[in-house]
Structure 1
Amino acid sequence: PEPSRPPAMRRLHDLLAPGGRLFLTLRHGPPPEDRQMYDIPAHETVALAAQHGLRPLQHAKDIDHLARDHVHWSSLTFEKDHP
């Protein structure tokens, strides 16, 4: 959920050494019936990471390799700024 995202990004930032890299994969599309998921746009994740000192290095979009209808993926790579 939205309120938990900034503290989570802060924690990820704090766990990285300067110059360390963070790789995230975001699933987009309807969730399975038995699971709760949040469809977070990649651009929001990039903006949130930047607010916490993580510089975007890469953003790739990909199809679902299990051929599920209406599901696609975003892969994001960030680097922690040097002090």
Structure 2
Amino acid sequence: LKINQTAEVFLAHGQGLPSLVDEPDATSFELRNGQFILEMDRDIGRLIVRTDKRFKNRLHTGNSVINLNQWPDSGLMIAPVSNCQQ
């Protein structure tokens, strides 16, 4: 199982953020409506996200949006599973 990352959207362009269309697996990079948008087609086995309460950290999946700031100022590992018990 893999995660397929299709985009990153961010408001501030700074150190460590993508800056060019030749980033790995990038398909386009643009400034749209005041946001930097890097579109991509990237398969990922696991995704590490560092949340920051100053920003709107969100994960968009299929039909839902998960607010990652419910775990503020944390490092989160997101990995696909074949069966999720609730």
Give the alignment's TM-score, normalised by structure 2. 0.30
Give the alignment's TM-score, normalised by structure 1. 0.30
Q: Which structure's relative contact order is higher, taking Cα pairs within 8 Å and 6+ residues apart?
A: 1
Greater fraction of residues in helix:
1
Greater fraction of residues in strand:
2
